[in-house]
């Protein structure tokens, strides 16, 4: 076991581990998203509809900043973008805790969503800059593991903090996000590759990304897969509630997702990291679709837990493989914009999935929703199979990239 762990974490640069630490600290303090609906409905006395509106505005802020964060990562650099985004997130989260007017709460929630999501393209681009191509799947997997470990801990802690004080939750999250900015400022150098003269002439714009047909096809397929995965947090609780199950039953079922990711992400990644990404993406898309499709036949909490196991395995395989493919298809000097477009696919899915699942369940029934998940997963799997028949070779990167304060960081 010690050797397996050592092989999983060895060979990655020090800068990656500081960035990984920043991600973990950020997720350990992610309390507000967990208790926001309860805060608005129980503590402030607003309606469930208003709480849903605030959640949608938070998601809309993420959609807006997905592309903006990518552009900033390419123009200003990865490190300045992270510092700006994390500082703005800390300030807006703290401000949200003091808002009492419904319009002000909604407006600041939009700002929180926009600030928080702006850092994601920069984090992913920076990891691609500093990690060797052969180690990227492993690096993205370790980062995804940190996200889920932090979320699992913060979700449990959020309940205890909310019982003491909702305002304390806002302020603690703001403080921990600010701590992430301090880690980045003190320990993470700039990693943006220095542009050559040719690259300066052929600079990447958002139009360049949109005209990249193969890449936009990947973004479209990512959106389909994201729609399916989102049902674990939006469609599944509603469907279980309609079937007579309690919130505790849903909590028990969905807890399997976090437990499996924390337990299996690293060993599964060791198994898949050098395997054909086409096979992995096809298999994970089908597994996700039919994993959710099996939910139509669930009649007990135990069976729901089994279905969660199926689509969680798909998530464990898909997340690092998909992110690695995005890097592989991105030009070195345009990684921020390309990552921003990829982040946008998940942000839009998070915005659309609640509306889609609600309409389908209300008008057609939960069985139709799970059937649609199977169809969408199948379509995504077929799409990956066709798209990746002639996958291009890894794009070369310069030997060295600019670093902050005169330090140089070796890139892949």
> How would DSSP label each residue in 189-227?
---PPPPPHHHHHT---HHHHHH-HHHHHHHHHHHHHHH
Residue 28 token pair = 């350990």
pLDDT digits (tens, 9 = 90+) for 119-133: 888 888 888 888 888
pLDDT digits (tens, 9 = 90+) for 267-321: 887 787 778 888 899 999 999 999 999 999 988 889 999 999 999 999 999 988 8
**R_g over Cα of the chain:** 21
pLDDT digits (tens, 9 = 90+) for 69-84: 888 888 888 899 999 9
User: Cα–Cα distance between 174 and 90 in angstroms, integer?
Assistant: 4
Identical fold between 12-193+397-412 and 205-393: yes
Cα–Cα distances (Å) from 318 to 47, 263, 370, 398, in that order, read 37, 16, 20, 28
358 vs 402, which has greater pLDDT?
Answer: 358
Domain range annotation of the chain: 12-193+397-412, 205-393
Cα–Cα distances (Å) from 361 to 45, 303, 350, in that order, read 27, 20, 17
| Average per-residue pLDDT for the chain | 82
304 vs 33, which has greater pLDDT?
Answer: 304
**125, 73 in Cβ contact below 8 A?**
yes
Confidence of residue 393 (pLDDT cuts 50, 70, 90): low
Helices vs. strands in the chain: H and E counts, helices first: 18, 2
Which region holds residue 406: left if phi is over 0, alpha if psi is between -120 and 50, else beta? left
pLDDT digits (tens, 9 = 90+) for 46-71: 876 787 788 778 888 888 888 888 88
Query: Between the CA atoms of 276, 141, 396 and 387, what dihedral angle is there, to the nearest 10 degrees?
Result: 40
99 vs 350, which has greater pLDDT?
Answer: 99
Instruction: Classify domain 12-193+397-412 by CATH number.
Output: 1.20.1250.20
Decide: helix, strand or coil at residue 122: helix
- pLDDT of res. 1: 55
Q: How many CB atoms lie within 10 A of CB 9?
A: 15
Cα–Cα distances (Å) from 373 to 228, 233, 369, 378, in that order, read 6, 14, 6, 8
pLDDT digits (tens, 9 = 90+) for 191-213: 887 664 444 445 777 788 888 88
User: Cα–Cα distance between 281 and 293 in angstroms, integer?
Assistant: 18
The residue to which tokens 């969503």 are assigned? 113
Instruction: Classify domain 205-393 by CATH number.
Output: 1.20.1250.20
Lowest model confidence (mean pLDDT) among 8-12, 281-285, 317-321, 358-362: 8-12
Orientation of helix 102-117 relative to helix 119-130, angle to 10°: 10
Q: Whole-prediction pTM value? A: 0.76
Among 140, 190, 259, 246, residue whose Cα is nearest residue 401: 190
- pLDDT of res. 182: 92
170 vs 50, which has greater pLDDT?
Answer: 170
Q: How many CB atoms lie within 10 A of CB 277?
A: 18
**90, 116 in Cβ contact below 8 A?**
no
Residue 354 token pair = 């609640």
């Amino acid at each position: 076991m010690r050797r397996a762990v050592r092989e999983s974490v060895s060979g990655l640069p020090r800068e990656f581990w500081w960035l990984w630490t920043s991600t973990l600290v950020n997720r350990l303090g992610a309390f507000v998203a967990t208790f926001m609906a309860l805060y608005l409905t129980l503590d402030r006395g607003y309606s469930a509809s208003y709480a849903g509106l605030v959640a949608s505005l938070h998601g809309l802020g993420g959609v807006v900043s997905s592309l903006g964060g990518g552009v900033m990562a390419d123009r200003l650099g990865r490190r300045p973008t992270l510092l700006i985004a994390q500082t703005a997130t800390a300030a807006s989260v703290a401000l949200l805790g003091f808002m009492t007017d419904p319009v002000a709460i909604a407006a600041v929630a939009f700002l929180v969503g926009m600030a928080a999501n702006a850092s994601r393209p920069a984090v992913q681009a920076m990891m691609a800059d500093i990690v060797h191509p052969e180690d990227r799947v492993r690096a993205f997997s370790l980062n995804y593991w940190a996200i889920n470990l932090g979320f699992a801990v913060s979700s449990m802690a959020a309940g205890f903090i909310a019982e003491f004080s909702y305002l304390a939750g806002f302020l603690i999250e703001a403080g921990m996000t600010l701590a992430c900015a301090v880690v980045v400022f003190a320990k993470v150098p700039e990693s943006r590759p220095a542009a050559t003269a040719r690259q300066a002439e052929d600079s990447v714009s958002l139009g360049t990304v949109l005209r990249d047909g193969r890449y936009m096809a990947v973004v479209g397929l990512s959106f389909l897969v994201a729609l399916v995965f989102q049902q674990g947090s939006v469609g599944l609780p509603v469907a279980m509630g309609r079937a007579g199950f309690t919130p505790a039953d849903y909590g028990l079922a969905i807890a399997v997702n976090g437990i499996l990711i924390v337990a299996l992400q690293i060993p599964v990644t060791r198994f898949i990291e050098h395997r054909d990404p086409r096979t992995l993406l096809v298999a994970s898309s089908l597994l996700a679709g039919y994993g959710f499709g099996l939910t139509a036949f669930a009649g007990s909490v135990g069976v729901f837990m089994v279905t969660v196991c199926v689509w969680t395995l798909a998530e464990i395989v898909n997340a690092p493989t998909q992110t690695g493919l995005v890097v592989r298809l991105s030009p070195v000097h345009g990684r921020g914009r390309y990552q921003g477009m990829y982040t946008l696919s998940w942000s839009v899915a998070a915005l659309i999935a609640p509306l889609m699942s609600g309409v389908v369940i209300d008008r057609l029934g939960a069985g139709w929703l799970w059937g649609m998940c199977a169809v969408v997963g199948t379509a995504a799997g077929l799409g990956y199979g066709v798209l990746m028949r002639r996958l291009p070779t890894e794009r070369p990167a310069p030997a060295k990239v600019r670093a902050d304060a005169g330090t140089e960081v070796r890139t892949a």
